[in-house]
Structure formats: structure tokens, C-alpha cells
Chain A
Amino acid sequence: MKIKKISKNVWEIPRENEMNAPVRVFASEKLLKAIKQDDCIKQGINVSTLPGIYGKSIMMPDAHQGYGFPIGGVAAFDVENGCISPGGVGFDINCGVRLLASDLDITKIKLKINELMEELFNNIPCGVGKDSKLKLSDEDFEKVLNTGLKWALEKGYAIQDDLDRCEENGHMQTADASKVSPRARKRGRNQLGTLGAGNHFVDVMYVDEIYDKEVAEVFGITKKNQVVVLIHSGSRGLGHQVCSDYLKKMEDEFPDIIKNLPDRNLTYSPTKSKLSKDYLSAMSAAANYGWCNRQLIAYHSRLVFNKLFGDDGSLNTIYDVAHNIVKIEEYKIDGEMKKVYVHRKGATRAFGPGHKEIPEVYRNVGQPIIIPGSMGTASYVLVGTDKAMNETFSSTPHGAGRIMSRHEASNTFNEEGVRKNLTEKNIYLKSASKAGIIQEAPEVYKDIDEVIKVTDEVGIGKKVAKLIPVGVING
């Protein structure tokens, strides 16, 4: 496989053989070396063989091996003659992040950090098999799927401002709960408002550095040392089952497609088929569930903050954005505006200034982008750019990106070592399991600072602020 350097931080694997487009990788030399360690470039090439792909099969600086599509992969397909692939969204539909800001200064939090983290841990169900405290009626569950955050608003779990500052306003209109199977419903029924396990987390952080004061202020990041809360979770078992159901439906309906694919998990349905429409309806319902899930976690975080800090502890949503999703968006391709299905598998939407889908309050500056690091490192807030519109179908990285498997991490690190490392950095850690601590050790991820540097240099997102953790809840 030939990897050609196009310019600083930009690499390409030219189109050949079965490929319908070249593969473009955005990475520094250091990150490219990490990316080459596993099979993710091969997976990026596999994506380029799918029908109706526009431009390039894109890989982000945080890319690593996934299942079918690489994680950190972006691909756009023609709405008429392209394809929709559940694997290009992933099992955790609308896995994403929500950032909330308080007016508190970090010095106020530090005195009560133990109490704060214990309270958050006790009020947010996390870990494998931990059910929600919420018992939903059939009618409510249907509304969660069909209307997303509108349901949360109606029930008092959200305020209008949360909807205004959320991708799709937390409500994908293409959702149709009747396309979600009874199995998926059963898996999701008792999990709304739960964090889950693995790499899902709630972080209490502070603003360490502001790079763009003007944009930061528009986002509600007003000063250094300001306390913020970052939530990472998705659509839980419901989303996983929706993906699984539709992979199988597509296999049944299009057996010849799956037979000829380099990886069975790439299976897809042609965009114009009824099955594609059904999948989009079900995926949108799962996405609505995902937004309600993060909303409930935010709601419980708010109660804890208000209890401990009174009105000063109010948490305002900065933004909530998905990083596993497929959307219809419009781009200028070969001089013509075209609608495409953009698959983002571990990539964040990054609309530049003026885009009509950005909340009105942010429209002049661009969409907020939230990129979490690992539990021991910084996370970043960036802003969307016009460059991303042209280069990456308005997409940017979604995290640091793993570099070491969980299995290898278990053989390399121990709980005491990771705890000591975090304690030395003054980070208070609560985890649902010992294994979670070891498998999410900061060293299993690529260097987040390097990922952000490349993103900023390439211009597919511009740095706004740097956040440092003081408390971590690991799922």
C-alpha cells in the first residue's frame, strides 16, 4: 500500500483496483505511525470500495481499527445511487458528548471534590447491568424515541436552552419508533439515564486556557478556571440492537451484496431502497434516545451541583453533539450543490460560520466542537470552519483514539498505578469497576494534544479552549 504525502498533515492512498475513491488521512508523522499500527487504513480502503462514495474515504487524526468502518472514519454517499451502512454509524448510535458550563471557579470545587464526585457517582447509574431509576410508561417510551429532547422538556428534565444548544435540537424529525424492534426496545427500556461502561464517563473539569476569547465568550466560556462538566455516553443497548437488527435485515434482503464485501460488517442497502429509509427512521429514534440519555445524566448532575453549590452551581449546556451518526447534508461537489448521506463513525460534525443548522446563538462564529481526551489528560473545545466543509464533509476528530487494546492494557497496567498517576495530577477518580480504570488508563490513547494540533493546523476545527479534569466518573 502506497501512502503519498500531499502536504503537511495530509496523506493519501491513491485510488486503485476496487477502490471508488482515494483514502485521505489527516495526521502528523507521529500520529500516522500510530494509525499504521493496526488495520484501520485497510478498513479505510474497504470503505472506499462502497458504491456512490463522493470525494474521499476520510480518516481523522484519532483513527484506529474498528469493525467494518474504521473508528475516526467519514464517508459521504450519493442520495440516489449510493448506500447506507449501519456499520458506518456503529453499534452505539449517537454516542456523543455534552458539555455544560457553570459560573463556579475551580477553587470552590476543589474543597468539595470528594463529596461532589461521590454524589455524582451515587446519582448516575453506571457500569454493566446497572438499570435506570426511571420507570417509563409505554407512552413515554414512544415519545422518547419519536421526539427526543421534546419529551425531556415536557417532563421537566430539560429546559428550552438545552434543546436550542443541541445538534438537531435533540429531536431528529426522521425518527419513527415503529421501526425499532421489540428486542431493541426491551434492551433500552431500563437503561435511559445510565452511563454504561467502557469508555463512557462524566468529567468535572476547569478551563485551563482560552485560545480564542471572542468565540469562547459566545460559547459561554468566560474565564480561566471556570468549572465545566463533560458527559460521554450513547444510546445504550437500544442503539446497539437497532444496528444489529438492520445489519441482519440488509443481509437478508441483499444477500449478493454481503457475499461480495471484503468485511461482512460493511454490509449496506442501496440509498433508494425501503430498507435504507427504515434504517434511517430507526437510527433517528435511537439518536433521540441517545440525546435523552445524556440529558438525564445532565439533569442528575444539575441536581447534585445545585445541592452542593446552590444557584452558583447552575449548569448551562454549551453544546451536545453526536459522533456516531449518518445524516443527509448538502455540499458543493464539482461546482454543484448535492445532497449526500454523511456517515460519521467516531467523528464530530464541524459546521463553519453561517450554517443554517447551527444554533442561532452560535451561527456567526461556527458550531462548538467538543473533543474529549482520556481520563488523565486535557479535553478541548474547538469551533467549526469552512475548511472542514470543503475537506472533510464538515467533520473533525472525536477524541484521542485508542492505541492499545483493552486486553493489552489489562496485562500492562494495574489499578494502583493508574490511581497513583491520577492522584498525582489531582484528579479524583470514581469507577464502576477496577477493570475500567485499567482499560481506560491515559496511556492506552494517542496524544490528544497532538490530535488537536493537527486538527487546528489542517483547519478542520480551530482551538477555542483547553479543559483539565479534576474529577472523573468512569463507567
Chain B
Amino acid sequence: MKYKYLSHTADAKFIAFGKNIDEVFENSALAMFNILGETKKVKSNKKFKININAKNYERLLYDFLEELLFLLETESLFLSKIKNLKIGKDLSLSCIVEGDDIQNYELKGDIKAVTYSDMVIKKTDKGYEATVVVDI
């Protein structure tokens, strides 16, 4: 399982899984965009590079998801996939995101903001997991 949604009255809460930290970040992004619609069905017509860094994993995840939200609002990007996501030991993240114009799809939700509420990134027996609440 890449991610699952948890119960939250007003917003969306999810937990993303991965065998390593890179995969957890990738699956968190997919979990966030699947609130809008099925990312599997989105074409790859647009491409953007992301390069960010932060002081800790929580902040890096927050910044990463917020960067995707920024691309959604300013470049009309509906994410389809993430390629070559790598997080360095210095907490720098680089990847290529692909997707299509959001106007081409029927949506099942909106995302206003990434929040810090209940955010946890932890190591488990199987790898890593991240819990995120997004304001919708």
C-alpha cells in the first residue's frame, strides 16, 4: 500500500508508506493529489524540476508538498507522476514532476494548504511512514 486516508472531520488526513524516505515523500505527494482525482489517469504533458532543502524531514515534506500546491495554482499542474526523487544526507530534495493541465479533468476535491497539524515522519519495521493533514 502506498498510502491510506484517515478520518478527519473537516480536512483530509493521510498516512503515506515507503521502504525508504524517498518513497515516503513520493507517496505523500500522490496521496495529496489523489484528493483531487485519480493521478493514474492524468497524462504527462508538463514537466517541472523541483530542488529544495530544509533543516528537518518534516519541514522538507511540508515544503515539498507546498511546492506542488504552488505549481497546481500557478501552473495549473495536476500531478501524474514523480521521477528521480532523491533526498540527500544534507536534506536536499530533487525530482522531476510530470502532469497535465488541471482544467482537462473532472475533480473530486480541492486543496487549500498543507498543514503542520499532527505531522509525523517515523521509521518503522518496513521502512518509513508520514502522517499529513491538508486543509481542504
Max chain A CB contacts within 10 Å: which of B8, B9, B74, B113? B9
Chain B residues whose CB sits within 8 angstroms of the CB of A191 once the complex forms: 73
Chain B residues whose CB sits within 8 angstroms of the CB of A240 once the complex forms: 112-113, 135
A435 with B108: in contact, given A129-B102, A248-B62, A251-B59 (CB under 8 Å)?
A: yes
Chain B residues whose CB sits within 8 angstroms of the CB of A92 once the complex forms: 112, 135
Chain B residues whose CB sits within 8 angstroms of the CB of A241 once the complex forms: 70, 113
Q: Which of B17-25, B38-46, B79-87, B114-122 contacts A (4 or more CB under 8 A)?
A: B114-122
Q: For chain B, residues 107 to 136, give those with C-beta under 8 angstroms from any C-beta of chain A.
A: 107-110, 112-119, 133, 135-136
| A: contact size bracket | 35 or more
Chain A residues whose CB sits within 8 angstroms of the CB of B10 once the complex forms: 64-66, 71, 402, 405
A136 interface residue (CB < 8 Å to B): no
A455 interface residue (CB < 8 Å to B): no
A264 and B119: CB pair below 8 A?
yes
**Majority SS at the chain B contact face:** loop
Chain B residues whose CB sits within 8 angstroms of the CB of A40 once the complex forms: 9
State in angstroms the CA–CA spacing of A187 and B72 once bound together. Answer: 10
B36 interface residue (CB < 8 Å to A): yes
Q: For chain A, residues 437 to 459, give those with C-beta under 8 angstroms from any C-beta of chain B.
A: 439
B59 and A67: CB pair below 8 A?
no
Chain A residues whose CB sits within 8 angstroms of the CB of B118 once the complex forms: 67, 263, 265
Chain B residues whose CB sits within 8 angstroms of the CB of A213 once the complex forms: none
Chain A residues whose CB sits within 8 angstroms of the CB of B7 once the complex forms: 38, 405, 407-408
B116 and A264: CB pair below 8 A?
yes
- Shortest C-beta distance, A196 to chain B (Å), equals 7
Chain B residues whose CB sits within 8 angstroms of the CB of A129 once the complex forms: 72-73, 76, 102-103
Residues of B within 8 A of A (CB): 5, 7-12, 36, 55, 58-59, 62-63, 66, 70, 72-74, 76, 102-103, 106-110, 112-119, 133, 135-136
List 15 additional contacts besides A198-B136, A243-B113; criterion CB under 8 Å.
Answer: A64-B10, A65-B10, A67-B115, A67-B117, A128-B36, A128-B107, A128-B110, A186-B74, A187-B70, A187-B74, A264-B116, A265-B118, A405-B8, A408-B7, A433-B107
